[in-house]
Amino acid sequence: LKPEEINLLSCEEKKYSTEILSIDPLIIYINDFIFDKEIDYLMKLGKRVSVYKAFKKLFDNDQVRTVDKPYRSSSSAFLPYEDPVCQCIGKRALDFLGFVEHKAHERLQLVRYYPGQEYNLHSDWLYNPKVSRSPGDEGQEYNRLGSFFTYIGGNSTGGETYFPFVNGASLTADPTKYAISSNGQGLLVKPVKGSALFWMNLHPNNGTGNDKTFHSGLPVHSGVKYGMNLWTKHYKSTPILGPYESKEDRKFEPEEAHV
Ligand SMILES: O=C(O)CCC(=O)C(=O)O
Ligand SMILES: [Fe+2]
């Protein structure tokens, strides 16, 4: 391990700031969600694991267009659970959820778009809940509750994340982060390295999918766009809204109610 990698293993706290973009669905912009050194590490990890078949799709060297679903021309690769940096980022995401269910998340997934590639309109929530194959909750059925989509760079134009059923940015919103669509409809978020977009996929009262969360990754015009997905889990038997402890080590001493 190189010194900067040893440093990474301490899972340093990341300071970030947030902006609410939408209430229904809940969408929150997170400024500076990830360290550059974490991004560098993840990109290396993506390349390292790509020697195994399951991860070949993203970091193939021949730049063959990979179509793993008919509506998607971008590629993706899951990273291993047990990687300590992935676990650190996963914990940061779960902590963010506060009073929202935050027991577990899927493996981190890297995505890559070459010029012309895109990911058409889709929902991250699943029509048929998945049965987990991860250690810790194997066999449990879950749906994807929260999406954290982190922009991890590349130097691209185009490639905005587009939510057509969500109110768009105001004309005075920061143009480095948001774009206005040509018909004025929908929310357009630009890929800014280090920033993340969080949204809630499911209705908090009954756990069904919120259709307003349908979104797409618009075509990249030039350069390469890299992103990272992190999906948190909702188990059918658990309420979506807590309160839940957001940090394992945080202990509330119940106080007498003041009347
Ligand atoms: O690339 C984007 O901006 C969105 C990607 C996305 O929606 C996904 O991978 O599920
Ligand atoms: Fe998505």
Output the pLDDT for position 253. Answer: 53
Q: Which residues pair with 69 in a beta bridge?
A: 72
Q: Which ligand is nearest to the CA of 216?
A: 1
Name the closest-CA residue to atom 4, ligand 1.
Answer: 217
Name the closest-CA residue to atom 2, ligand 1.
Answer: 217
Output the pLDDT for position 248. Answer: 55
> Which residues neighbour 244 within 8 Å (Cβ) at sequence distance 6 or greater?
97, 98, 99, 100, 101, 102, 103
From the CB of 213, is ligand 1 less than 6 Å away? no
The domains of the chain are located at 3-235
- 3-235 has CATH 3.10.105.10 classification: no
Q: Please list the pLDDT of the chain residue by residue as tens digits (259 residues).
A: 676 676 788 899 999 999 999 999 999 999 999 999 999 999 999 887 664 544 445 554 443 344 444 577 778 888 988 999 999 999 999 999 999 999 999 999 999 999 999 998 999 999 999 999 888 899 999 999 999 999 998 789 999 999 999 999 999 999 999 999 989 899 999 999 999 999 999 999 999 999 999 999 999 999 999 999 999 999 998 999 988 876 654 454 555 655 5
Whether cis (ω within 30° of 0) applies to the bond prior to 70 is no
Are the beta carbons of 151 and 193 closer than 8 angstroms? Answer: yes
Query: DSSP class of residue 256?
Result: P
Give the strand pairing for 161-163 and 157-158. Answer: unpaired
Backbone φ, ψ for residue 243 (5° rounding): -70, 145
Which position has the token pair 């959820």? 97
Amino acid 141 reads E
User: Measured in angstroms, how far is the CA atom of residue 161 from the centroid of ligand 1?
Assistant: 7
Name the closest-CA residue to atom 1, ligand 1.
Answer: 217
Q: Which long-range contacts (CB under 8 A, 24 or more apart) does 51-56 make?
A: 54/78, 55/79
Output the pLDDT for position 4. Answer: 67
Output the pLDDT for position 155. Answer: 85
Please give the helix or strand (H or E) that residue 226 lies within, else none: strand 225-235
From the CB of 220, is ligand 1 less than 6 Å away? no
From the CB of 217, is ligand 1 less than 6 Å away? yes
Backbone φ, ψ for residue 126 (5° rounding): -100, 135
User: Measured in angstroms, how far is the CA atom of residue 217 from the centroid of ligand 1?
Assistant: 5
Assess: ipTM above 0.85: yes
From the CB of 78, is ligand 1 less than 6 Å away? no
Per-position DSSP letters for 13-45, written without gaps between them: ----EEEEEETTTTEEEEET-S-HHHHHHHHHH
From the CB of 215, is ligand 1 less than 6 Å away? yes
Which position has the token pair 């259709």? 211
- Whole-Å CA distances, 62 to 57, 65, 66, 139: 11, 9, 11, 37
Residue of 105, 101, 106, 46 whose CA lies nearest to 77: 46
Using the atom order of ligand 1, give the atom closest to the CA of residue 109.
Answer: 9
Predicted TM-score (pTM) of the model is 0.90
* Structure token pair of residue 88: 């650190």
* Structure token pair of residue 133: 């194959």
Name the closest-CA residue to atom 6, ligand 1.
Answer: 217
Output the pLDDT for position 244. Answer: 84
Looking at the chain, list the stretches that DSSP marks H as alpha helix, in order from N- to C-terminal side: 3-8, 36-49, 84-96
